[in-house]
Amino acid sequence: MERLELTLHPTKTRIVGLWTGEEGFDFLGMHHRKTKAETSESQVYYTTQQWLCRKAEERIREVVKERLAPANMRHKSFQEHLEYLNPKIQGWRNYYVTTYSQRKMAKRDWFIL
């Protein structure tokens, strides 16, 4: 890491025990955690699942509120709001959608609606 001139942040860096699945970690806007899964033939296996982390979810809400909530934005037409928000919403969907994040994404969609 020294060769790449990278350093670890002392308060953010920690060792996470994924073995038990009791804790996970947030990385690049996704929460990662080991969970139990089952195949259609009832075979149990463990996998690392990812879903939208709380901080990223709050940031999405913040961006939408910044656009729609202020009184000075109410004069803009519905079409202008759509043109601004649609690329952002599509980008969030492309980045954050995983098999395990459907519940979080539905919650985000409901908030935007």
Say yes or no to pLDDT of 26 above 80: yes
The pLDDT tens digits of the residues spanning 42-93 come to 898 888 888 888 999 899 889 988 888 888 888 888 899 889 999 998 998 8
The mean pLDDT of 27-42, rounded to a whole number, is 88
pLDDT at residue 16, rounded to an integer: 85
Mean pLDDT computed over every residue of the chain = 86
Neighbours of 104 (CB within 10 A): 19
pTM score, two decimals?
0.71
The mean pLDDT of 36-41, rounded to a whole number, is 86
Give buried/exposed letters for 38-77 (b at 16+ CB in 10 A, else e). eeeeeeeeeeebbbbbeebbeebeeebeeeeeeeeeeeee
